[in-house]
Structure 1
């Protein structure tokens, strides 16, 4: 069953630059009508559309929602594409690959970066296979396909980042590099099974070889940058010559060497299980990317890891490679609910998730070739939520957003809170409750409400129950002036944009009744 909608609005680019023409493809038979462009729920443009591409007027930087009849999409206008990373992937490069559906995914989900996973001939010999070869795990690779995908991703307004493992050497190359091996206390080389061996990433001869390979790949294939991968171990080891190695420090040396060799490249380093994020987050790469594993198993673990990453990252976008293995073992609807709660957690904490890619695939395994084919309900979920993410970007992603829950909520503060007739609130992710978070943004307060009422635990990669109805909530907040503030509510599974709710003044306080909560609700209070 195809996941491609029969009728849809599809932006020509995943992200538009200022002053760049903004065009949206209108697919299939759509009746002429008035298209409306919304910025945070307010109409900023109306276009009388009669056919062809929907052409929008020039817009200021930011995220926008677009509606034409019952069809919706979102667009981003951004001068600096490095400020955001909505990350996707490709993992197949056969000679006869059809790339059109891949670029549709990039456009549909507004993916601003695409990881080209395992495109190379060998981990330590990136271009050694010629124009066509089988990779180290016997997958067919045609560099003509890689080039075509790179060009198509770039044409779609995104970035193509080639995968490169920073310290992995296969058996055929091992003789050349085993003098730089990282070994255990008993002298056994560290490795990934018997498939790869691990060496000191900061060894000078390896650095010269590795950066030369990246430079040659950029020239040959046109990559915008690289996804620099590691495996999370060892943290400390001996080198084959007996020298003690602090591997976190070696990673810093390597990233800085790659930056020096490729000063314009977009670089993303993988901090496996949050190692060594504190050291790598602030140096000259372009995102704080973390691949969580046990013991980071709960929604609260994800939230806490993102919070640390933002503190270390000096304003860089934060991405979690939270693979939803649950699709391989649970019914689709239960797995979709797990994905929705994962996205709600990450998006409400100023982070994104690496999950979708290819034409119709989800990541459910760290070996990206072993992915999951998504069905129509999952595809529709991702489209709604990614549109919501882009259209509400300035409420979700800026680095200056500040969590003020502890200083505003609860009886002691009595400044702002929400109450439900049949559910309790929590400042953290607690099963059986509504998880409430309050964020300050200049003269706005942003409230996130995540529904965990029907859940018996808060694992992010587990089948989730249908959300229970906690009843109609009441928002109550202290007034700071004589005029009541404007209150608006949005839900990615509802209308998808902010709508105003009536506010009643009660002395020094004001109150508003909220729409029913499904999975995640976003409230905006403009003071």
Structure 2
């Protein structure tokens, strides 16, 4: 049998074979269910957990299939239909805030269709959806009534916003309303200019002549801002808010002569919003890593970073994630890395760029804000200016988001520890991978395989990112199809007399973990690994009875 890289159905064609979870995330007491969409009679649904088949459920007709309750974790689900295997994944989690797979919506015209948005939330397992530019004005969120045009002229129907909130809830996702924390438009500015953040020559900082910036922690502004947020919860139904800023200024003077440390003002703002809205989910945008070191410790639900220059390479992305996870206090980390490459290059090279971005983020324990609406991806910080994804891009996203969810226990927990420097290389001689002619590197290096070793409970996870055929490691540039590395040789020190169990997975080649043969070599065990395509995940259990739990 072959695994199908199934292209999601368009709004015109609803019968393309596909397997979807009924929700983006399940609680432990919720029966897990999937929806089989096919014109071919299905046979059996199989549930896999880290390479182990744990359940088989007969399926006789297309439609909803109840798989029953499952313990917390990530699972792959396969349904056989003739010679085809349809795949999806499900996550069972007792805490909705332990992982944030973030998407977006940015269109709220009257009577817009929402079914395809619901499908995409389920398809990509999005646990949070940002409602970008839903409000009437930045400093007056609900001042436009039921139907209005936003500050840039886009038509908004609050009825549509509410419908999309309901769509998120039905699909198991939280709805985050966008709110800029210190931006005021020209019409509202006269009432707030006494709190302006001023340039050295005395003019207010702003975004062109479209918005002006003020001290986000000023008491009168915070009272107004928090009241607007509370009304949005009450009148629209949001679960929380995406709190945005623009990355500047870092320090500024107000008209009253007070010097504002903007990082401290952001932290104070988050604290006061949390105090006033204790049940709301809050995500603050640390633009270009500012000021992650401060807001990471504020009472919010995720650590979100929007990256720009000088964070241009895969190594830069990895460094941003490492710093964030070190400060995050267990919060999930989300990186907004907009793939502008789709505006200037065909889908094929651009899809490869996206795959390398995801490989870097996922393997380092972060998720990627990229996809949303029904079939759109972000290529611009103004989300309304998004990109309609090609079929190849949507198929890529489905494979890779399924892979992320199925292996979430090996990728996202805060307890995972990077042990590369302690285990790999000749001096340590505990765990490493070699290829006949392809170098293995500790950093993202063109022409090599980027190797990382992570401890997950009693097990080890080795990440192998294949950078052969690349002339640089920019994450937002067209990429070449990676060259073949040949098979790899994994050498790992044995613990006791037993041989370790070695399993390998790859989002493009082998969606679930499969065993590879292992042989003894003195104090070590050696396993032959298949050649990686872009990203290969290797799970090493010290003995067949060991579990990769954190």
TM-score (norm 2): 0.95
1:518 corresponding residue in structure 2: 533
Answering whether residue 329 of structure 2 is matched by residue 314 of structure 1, we say yes
How far 1:3 sits from its partner (Å)? 5.0
- Correspondences of 1:23-172 after superposition (within 5 Å): 23-51=33-61, 52-69=63-80, 70-172=85-187
Q: Deviations 1:365-407 (Å, cap 9, x if unpaired)?
A: 0000000000110000000000000000000000000000001
2:320 to 298, 305, 314: 305
Distance 2:94 2:235 in 1: 27
How far 1:453 sits from its partner (Å)? 1.3
Report the aligned-residue RMSD. 1.0
Q: Is the 8 A contact 2:33 2:68 kept in 1?
A: no
Distance 1:386 1:517 in 2: 18
2:371 corresponding residue in structure 1: 356
Distance 1:2 1:274 in 2: 34
1:369 to 381, 384, 387: 384
Q: Which moved more, 1:52-61 or 1:331-340?
A: 52-61
Q: Deviations 1:123-149 (Å, cap 9, x if unpaired)?
A: 000000000000000000000000000
1:433 corresponding residue in structure 2: 448
Q: Deviations 1:410-447 (Å, cap 9, x if unpaired)?
A: 01111111111121011111111110000011210100
Answering whether residue 362 of structure 2 is matched by residue 347 of structure 1, we say yes
Answering whether residue 253 of structure 2 is matched by residue 242 of structure 1, we say no
Distance 1:68 1:296 in 2: 41
1:214 to 214, 226, 229: 229
Q: Is the 8 A contact 2:486 2:530 kept in 1?
A: no
How far 1:18 sits from its partner (Å)? 1.3
Answering whether residue 461 of structure 2 is matched by residue 446 of structure 1, we say yes
Answering whether residue 397 of structure 2 is matched by residue 382 of structure 1, we say yes
2:22 corresponding residue in structure 1: 12
1:508 corresponding residue in structure 2: 523
How far 1:28 sits from its partner (Å)? 3.0
Q: Deviations 1:194-244 (Å, cap 9, x if unpaired)?
A: 000000000000000000000001000000000000000000000121110
Q: Which moved more, 1:469-478 or 1:193-202?
A: 469-478
Distance 1:113 1:422 in 2: 43
Q: Is the 8 A contact 2:8 2:16 kept in 1?
A: no
Q: Is the 8 A contact 1:106 1:158 kept in 2?
A: yes
Q: Is the 8 A contact 2:314 2:444 kept in 1?
A: yes
Q: Deviations 1:299-356 (Å, cap 9, x if unpaired)?
A: 0000001000001110000000000000010111000000000000000000000000
Distance 1:136 1:8 in 2: 39
Structure 1, gaps ≥5 residues long: none
